[in-house]
Chains A and B, each alone.
Chain A
Amino acid sequence: MMTVFLILFPLLVAVLLFAVRPAQAKLLALIAAVIEFIASLVVAFNFNALGGTQFGLDTPWMTSLGLNFAVGMDGISLLLVLLTTFLVPFIILSSFNHTYDKPSTFYGLILVMQMALIGVFVAQDGLLFYLFWEVALIPIYFICLIWGGENRGWITFKFFVYTLGGSLIMLTGLIYLYLHTPGSHTFAISALYEAGRSLSAIEQSVIFWTMFVAFAIKMPVFPFHTWQPDTYTVAPVQGTMLLSGIMLKMGIYGLIRWLIPVVPLGVQQWGMTAVILSVIGIIYGSCIALVQKDAKRLVAYSSIAHVGLIAAGLMTLNPLGVQGAMVQMLSHGILVVAMFFIVDILENRLKTRALDSMGGVRNVAPVFATTFVVVMLGSVALPLTSGFVGEFLLINSIFQYHPVLGAVAGLTIILGAVYMLIMFQKAMSGEVTATTSGFADLTLHEKWVLYPIAGLVILIGVYPKPLLSISEDAVQALLQSVSNATAVAPL
């Protein structure tokens, strides 16, 4: 029941916001998000790390279409649900220095988005997963379309068509699996696993690509990334945070839950290709980030690099890599939200995102500079920050998979340090200029966003064990079942 509450509560509040349009929409949304976070903490404390899928519910919904409302959480789901419920309050809080037109619609859409994201992470039925996956697209699309920047009509449409096209391809793959389930077909996750594993290697390869393309577009992995920088740049900053902080994790989660266990032979066949594409993405994203003049675009490209590393480590199917992906998903989620917020603070006060016209902010806003340093160090994966734990595990796993690829992927640490330091140097160091001299330090609610995140970055870096232990058992079970399936299957 707790799972259902986590899904329905944000939706109810959103409907309330749409219908009543209260003057204090912001505050109401924030309270709702905090309640949601507390509820997810309750779930986390009652969670048994060795207990498999928990807090489940399975009840028929659209029987004519084979759809059951089946939800439940294992360690992997729980970590992502926690990430979502943790970040949404900060995303809402970060909007307190903006005044958006039609605020109740804005915050309502954010909450609808939260509902859909949690739904994606807990769905245990193929069609239900697809529905939540698609429903997540609609609020973020309208957030970007209504409150976005210059030229948003076509940029957001490109984003929409890209992701919709990917999902349609995934849907055909899911229907194909559905039609191969025994009896009067069903979308139940176990039946789909069984159906997928019973397919021949060639069929599994086809299914692999139908699913992989959808997930790769969402993350995005090179060469499916072309929608991403423009969309991140044009979206209002809360939209960018939702996209990069949480929505991107839908793609990675999709790989873990709906690709690797479903078609193990397909993964065996094409895993290498996926790893290579991801590694290309790391280098490509980093190199473009190096030459960006626009701070928001720089962070957007750095996100391509980070996500490439996660995907590469995951597709090695090494336990280290999968666990590393879990930690790095959390770490990247909070870091990228903080990073976009920092860029937003800069843009808000200086009315520009061009790095060349900034400089010297450190001298007038020391508190801001300090938090920026912490977030930046997390981003470049300095030891004792959250970024280090994940990146270390990921690069280690890629190195074990293939030393050359590992070495190339390892460049991300160097390149990441370079572009982050360039950004910090251009924005913060140097002499105070005419534009930056009036730069005010952090306001109270900005501190409320950045302090907890900065604290968490260090906390995870120093003591990552509790997080690792939540998902450890689920990851082991997943890899075990995959290796069983590939061992028995005729080659």
Chain B
Amino acid sequence: MNAILILSGLGVASLVAEFTNLRRWLSVVIVLGLISAVVLTIKDWNASHRFYNDMVVFDNFALAFSVLITIIGLLWFWSSAEYFLQKEARTDRAALALFAMVGSIVMTSFNNMAMLFLGIEILSISLYAMAGLRRDLNSTEAAFKYLLMGSFATGFLLFGIALVYGATGLFHVDAIAEYVSANSATLPGFFYIGVVLMLAGLAFKISAVPFHFWAPDVYTGAPTTVTAFMATIVKIAAIASFVRVFTVAFASVQTTWIIILEIITLLTLILPNLMAAYQDSVKRMLAYSSVGHVGFILLAMISAPASSNSTILYYLTAYAVASIGSFGILIILEKETPDLTIQRFKGLFAKSPLLAIGMTVALLSLAGIPPLAGFFAKYAVLVQALSGGNTGLVIAAVLASLVGVYYYFRVIIAMFLKGDDEKPVSVTTLHQILTVLLIILTLGLGLFPDGILKLF
């Protein structure tokens, strides 16, 4: 709860800073605020707090995901520091991002379907504006597409919530769970339709195939900083809400949704990875690959719905750290020329070794090469899936990650080959420190995964 209050306060403060002329203090205030939000959230560990007639519950699950969102938020602000130093609409940008983070935290901590809806809307409305911030054709297209698809998905979700309410008369997640397991024989048919509609609505939000088609276009069109935000914070929040709805509220009617979800998982493992292999734009490739990673997370979830939360949290952490790293480097390169094709990466190692190594570590982690965090994340998922008996999906996952190796290595190979020129890329000290930090984090998370894997 502290995190929600602090982040909302920071959001309002950013808006106020615009006309009270406190703009230059804003970055410092945001950083301090985020750090204190992390500290206060961690202090609540193991003390489950409930608010507003149980509509919001901060249990360990919510706390862990909130901390992750806040820390990644901090790293994101760091990586896009220059984005916030531009004169134009600086405070609005910060406020939008902060409000989006508030929405994400609500999405991890809701105990009421209405709060889920509220969280998603707070997040989405801020994001629609963020995606359109660059005011050129691509950015506007991305924003408009996101708005249309997002509204469509929210419609499904609302309809599903309404049907579930009609069948159970309940909005509270834990109450629905109890009611469903007690009255499983007498549930009306439209309850199941409600469950499936909610599944479709939330699948849009986590961009699982076949509800993913908006993602590559929106990710590519939006400003790269915003893409990084969508690929990390938004994805963490969406997955958290997805896990919460299906492993808590609908746990006892698992048979209705698990087969659909298995098919979705299979498609999400295969299609985006194949598509990513055909991309020439690194940004678009990363967009597809971020859809592909959802497949692994879903695989963990369907293999052990009750006990996979720590695996999912670890996977998201590893993925988010690597994503901030790779998008951060795209942001730097984009400053010089907007061209982000693989050609652009040729010879990067000679031009700027640190950037090339940072990018390599991030991509190796995403590809799942030991001893980096991404490997242990995939490994934990695969072991869970094998002991859950999903051998077929495991084979698909292994093949998908081999395809992943191919497209990530296209970029890595380009960076270490000889380029056309050796003009060094200018990198701010702030970003150099961030790159080193992210390399250490990726290695550290890999070598000491117990801290997260044994949380729950």
Contacts and interface: CB of A to CB of B under 8 A. Distances in A.
B164 interface: no
B413 A64 contact: no
B449 interface: yes
Given A102-B353, A142-B416, A62 B449 contact: yes
A230 interface: no
Given A131-B370, A145-B413, A179 B454 contact: no
A62 B379 CA distance: 12
A172 interface: yes
Interface centre among A65, A176, A179 (most CB of B within 10 A): A65
Interface centre among B383, B387, B402 (most CB of A within 10 A): B383
Contacts of B369: 134, 138, 164
Interface string A113-144: 00000000000000000110011001000100
B261 interface: no
B405 A161 contact: yes
A65 B376 contact: yes
Contacts of B405: 160-161, 164
A65 B402 contact: no
A134 B454 contact: no
A207 to B, nearest CB: 14
A64 B454 contact: yes
Nearest to A64: B453
A64 B353 contact: no
Interface string B383-402: 10011000000100010011
Given A63-B454, A146-B349, A168 B413 contact: no
Nearest to A130: B370
B417 A153 contact: yes
A46 to B, nearest CB: 30
Given A102-B353, A134-B370, A138-B369, A157 B449 contact: no
B383 A175 contact: yes
Given A135-B370, A157-B409, A172 B398 contact: yes
Given A131-B370, A135-B370, A153 B383 contact: no
B382 interface: yes
B19 to A, nearest CB: 47
A131 B454 contact: no
B136 interface: no
Nearest to A60: B450
B380 interface: yes
B350 to A, nearest CB: 8
Interface in A52-83: 62-65
A239 B453 CA distance: 37
Contacts of A65: 376, 379-380, 383, 449, 453
A178 B386 CA distance: 11
B406 interface: yes
A165 interface: yes
B406 A63 contact: no
Contacts of A172: 386, 394, 398
A178 B413 CA distance: 35
Given A161-B406, A175-B386, A63 B450 contact: yes
Interface in B344-360: 349, 353
Interface band, chain A = 20 to 34
B371 A131 contact: yes
B370 A153 contact: no
Given A65-B380, A175-B382, A157 B454 contact: no
Given A134-B369, A145-B416, A62 B402 contact: no
A152 B454 CA distance: 43
Interface residues of B, number: 31
Contacts of B375: 134
Contacts of B349: 146
A369 B94 CA distance: 73
Interface centre among A63, A64, A156, A172 (most CB of B within 10 A): A64
Contact of A157 (B386, B394, B413, B453): B413
Contacts of A131: 370-371
Contact of A165 (B353, B371, B402, B448): B402
A168 B449 CA distance: 20
Contact of A168 (B353, B364, B402, B450): B402
Contacts of B401: 168
Interface string B405-422: 110010001101100000
A178 B453 CA distance: 18
Contacts of A64: 310, 380, 449-450, 453-454
Nearest to A179: B387
Nearest to B376: A65
A62 B416 CA distance: 33
B197 to A, nearest CB: 36
B355 to A, nearest CB: 15
B69 to A, nearest CB: 23
B403 to A, nearest CB: 11
A10 to B, nearest CB: 16
Contacts of A168: 398, 401-402
Contacts of A63: 450, 454
A96 to B, nearest CB: 24
A52 to B, nearest CB: 29
Nearest to A134: B370
A154 B412 CA distance: 12
A63 B454 CA distance: 9
B199 to A, nearest CB: 30
User: Which 4 residue pairs are nearest across A and B when measured between Cβ atoms?
Assistant: A64-B453, A134-B370, A153-B413, A145-B416
Interface of A: 62-65, 102, 105, 130-131, 134-135, 138, 142, 145-146, 152-154, 156-157, 160-161, 164-165, 168, 171-172, 175-176, 178-179
29 contacts: A62-B448, A62-B450, A62-B453, A63-B454, A64-B380, A65-B380, A65-B383, A65-B453, A130-B370, A131-B370, A131-B371, A138-B369, A142-B416, A145-B416, A146-B349, A152-B417, A153-B413, A160-B405, A161-B402, A161-B405, A161-B406, A165-B402, A168-B398, A171-B379, A172-B386, A172-B398, A175-B386, A179-B383, A179-B387
Interface of B: 310, 349, 353, 364, 369-371, 375-376, 379-380, 382-383, 386-387, 394, 398, 401-402, 405-406, 409, 413-414, 416-417, 448-450, 453-454
